[in-house]
Structure 1
Amino acid sequence: MTPVLPDDLVQQCDLMTASPVDDDKVAKGVEFDWIDGAGAVRACSLAVNAHPEIARYRYQLSRALEKTGDHSAAILQLRSAADDGYPAAMVRLGYRYLHGENMPFDTDEAVRWFEKAAKNGSTHAMTVLGILYLEGKELPRDLPNALDWHLKAAANGEAQAMYNLGFMYLNGAGVSKDPAKGVQWLRQAAEKGYANAALELAQMYEQGGVVTPDPREALNWYLKASENGSAYANYNLARLFLQGRSVDRDNKAAASFLFQALQGGYMIGPNQLAEEGHNWGRSFWKEFQGILKEEGFYAGALDGGFGPQTKRAVEALSNARFVETDRTSALDTDDRPMLVNIPQLNVFPRPSVRAKQMGAIVMGDRVTARRWHTDAKGDRWARVCAYRFCGWVAAEFLKDAPAEAPVQVQPAPPETIGAPATSAIDVPAKPEEGLGTLD
């Protein structure tokens, strides 16, 4: 006999593998690189065995299997979910055919699956079809079809489709050239949080041409793009605060935006930065050195110069975005189960609140503490791995997790979809479910 599977274990499949582009997901999406492959395969196999009628679990199991490199098994689960009408599975299957990912290249088959997904309500599929017909690479260019699919996706709230429509109207691609309508579509995309659209509007209002120059509007759209993660917007904001255009000159704000730009991935080498900023003034560079020092990248004097030490610090800051987010590291010294002890705990790629936030974990989330660190201010940090990603959190908001007694769950029969390959799987038991199996 197999005990009833606890609901919280089934839900782990959603928490660990839901796709950001799945319109039918029931949990916050997890980027593919952040999936814990082995753990997700285990959770989603349990979910599929418990609820074989739910195609979403099979689709998510396919993502987990793909992360572990088991493409044959992943494709089986993916096709099963797609055949059952799950739109996100249809889209992924379409991509596999389009790019020949462990499958034959077959553009016609890819389009067939994209169209099926679109007809089942996938705005992502609608946008993909629009782009394929607009670019004319994998498919012959077909601007009326491109316009039609983009309009359908935009009508369903897809920001990327709105952004693409903006450029179609700005350039007269498949439509009569209409700059005003193009700006209108860009504005809609930007208001939905699409950073590139906000950045385009900011540059338009700064430079003029398509619209009347308006420094205040440019500043507002750069700020909007910055809020949505644009490193280039942050660099431009640093420039605006230094120039005092549409805003009072503010060296401290400018230094902060430059720091955000570099840690966010704006590509500029120390020598080029020194050349571009040779007339930004010692007061500004002193503020910037202060931030670098506070964050542990710089140990020199706050002299406002741009010498070898400052250049090395800039390089170190730029490289800091390539942080380790693996679940295990040679530097890890602990393996302690803990619980989050506040309603929401922010996760950072390095032990600093100034780092770009990766996400958050919430009260009751179970994490594994891998390493401990005390910063220059004396604050204690923990590198933890949660179900979505690994990163640094304030250690004071963690508490030791109570021990849980394991229960043996027998695998489903071989003919059941997604049956685990092992003979038995240890899963945490609820207090009322500690009897294990009965002979």
Structure 2
Amino acid sequence: MRHFLRGGTGPEGCDPLFQGKNSRQSRTLALRVAVAAAGLLLLADLAAPPRAEAQTGEKPPAATDANGAKTGNGAKPSNGTKTGNGTNGAKPAPAPAAPPAPAAAAPAPSGPVDVAFGAYQAGNYLTAYKEAMKRVEAGTDPAAMTLLGELYARGYGIPYDPAKARQWYERAAKAGSANAMFALGMMNLTGQGKTVDETAAQKWFEQSAKAGNPAAAYNLGLIYLQGRGVTQDFTKAATYFKQGADGGVADAQYALSVLLNAGNGVPVDKAAAIKYLTAAAEQDHVTAEVELAIATFNGNGVPKDEAAGAALFRKAALAGNAIAQNRYARVLSVGRGAPQNKVA
């Protein structure tokens, strides 16, 4: 969607190092909201710890979408775009969306020490399964039910079984688990264990967002931004992005900053746009870092600070962002904001 493919980097008259009218890089710069077309953010209820093969000796099977493409569990979505906390590529996308890989972690359950969750995070999946079953057998425990759904959905420590995963998620959702509602939304969206059902996915995301899940709110924002199964509505998209942004989702913070800056679905608010852009950059959202670097270097909406802008370019460049690499190379070549180094 072209509303999110911004060709410019600021008003004319800004520093020619990055803003010249004859600069092809400036004219063609198009930063993605978070990811590229045909998917949504996958923030799993429980992140896969580093030892994904612990206690089993076998890699769990990856879930697949309706087209047979791997989703979640650290896999690339079917469109082949890299996703995650920010984007590292420079190629524009026709519309935002897509599940990032790997999945991001949800906060650990509050209250007493959670043995089941701790075992999962340590990669001790059989122990996690046994402890979660104990809690379920002892009474209604939506967190334990969600954990069981996660284990079956990923095939960690136990056989991969999306049907059983769905059953556990549904029990947990009925008991009020926002994370389980979100997981059901993702299963319906990706067609894990059944055919894709975007209408059902939207309903689960709505329930999850209403229950306070910021990742679900971000997904709903993308659904309305794209008009995916619903009438395209930038105002609703902005509302859901704000819920996700205020809940700490970096992709939502970046998406909302873009809408605020352009006045899509919300009144133009440059100060708020910078606020959310900064929040996303502080969470290492690479695309946000690049935009904030440009604004900071040029003093566009923030105090001009070439050194700080150069530092942000360097950080994003080291993360693999091609635009940042190009801009930082130019910084070094002229010695603006960083010592001149034409060799580097």
TM-score by length of 1: 0.48
Aligned to 1:156: 211
In the TM superposition, what are the counterparts of 1:399-418 in structure 2 within 5 Å?
none
Does residue 285 in structure 1 map to residue 335 in structure 2? no
Question: Is 2:326 the partner of 1:275?
Answer: yes
Deviation at 1:182, TM superposition (A): 1.0
Asked whether the equivalents of residues 199 and 221 of structure 1 are also in contact (C-alpha less than 8 Å), the reply is yes
Residue pairs, 1:120-135, within 5 angstroms: 120-135=175-190
Q: Match of 2:155? A: 100
Distance of 2:48 and 2:280 partners within structure 1: 21
**8 A contact 2:214–2:243 mirrored in 1:** yes
Q: Say if 2:126 is the partner of 1:75.
A: no
Residue 183 of structure 1 deviates from its aligned partner by 1.2
Q: Give unpaired runs (5+ residues) of structure 1.
A: 1-19, 23-29, 38-55, 287-303, 309-439
1:136 CA displacement: 2.6
Matched, 1:142 2:204: no
Distance change in 2, residues 1:277/1:256 (3 Å): closer
- 1:205 CA drift (Å): 4.1
Conservation of the 8 A alpha-carbon contact between 1:232 and 1:266: no
| Counterpart residue number, 2:257 | 202
Alignment partners' CA distance in 2, 1:217 and 1:247: 11
1:31 and 1:143 map into 2 onto residues whose CA distance is 25
Distance 1:255 1:108, change over 3 A: same
How is 1:384-395 mapped onto 2 (pairs within 5 angstroms)?
Answer: none
CA 1:226–1:278: 2 relative to 1, 3 Å? closer
| Structure-1 separation of matches of 2:240 and 2:123 | 40
Distance 1:87 1:144 in 2: 24
Quote the RMSD (CA, aligned, Å): 3.4
Three-state SS of the structure 2 residue aligned to 1:285 is coil
Distance 1:67 1:180 in 2: 38
Q: String of CA shifts for 1:224-277, please: whole Å, max 9, x gaps.
A: 213444343223211211133223431132134345546xx73247xx755333
How far the C-alpha of 1:178 sits from its partner, in A, is: 1.4
CA contact (8 A) 1:166 1:181 kept: yes
Alignment of 1:35-434 (within 5 A): 60-66=114-120, 70-84=124-138, 85-206=140-261, 215-258=270-313, 261=316, 266-268=319-321, 273=324, 275-280=326-331, 281-286=334-339, 304-308=340-344
Counterpart amino acid of 1:79? M
Cα contact 1:274–1:306 (8 A) shared by 2: no
> Unmatched 5+ residue regions in structure 2?
1-43, 55-110
Q: Distance in 1 between matches of 2:319 and 2:257?
A: 17
TM-score normalised by the chain length of structure 2: 0.59
1:115 CA drift (Å): 0.8
Counterpart residue number, 2:30: none
Separation (CA, whole Å) in 1 of partners of 2:330 and 2:262:
22
Question: Equivalents in 2 of 1:21, 1:210: separation in Å?
Answer: 30
- 1:128-178 per-residue CA deviation (whole Å, 9 max, x = no partner) reads 111221233433222332222111111111101111111111122232221
The aligned amino acid for 2:114 is Q
Letter in 1 for 2:158: M
2:129 maps to a residue whose letter is I
CA distance in 2, matches of 1:257, 1:192: 24
The CA deviation at 1:190 is: 0.9
The range that moved more, 162-171 or 208-217, is 208-217
| Residue 103 (structure 2) aligns with | none
Give the direction of change, closer, same or farther, for the CA distance of 1:65–1:147 in structure 2 (3 Å limit).
Answer: closer
Structure with greater contact order relative to length (CA < 8 Å, sep ≥ 6): 2
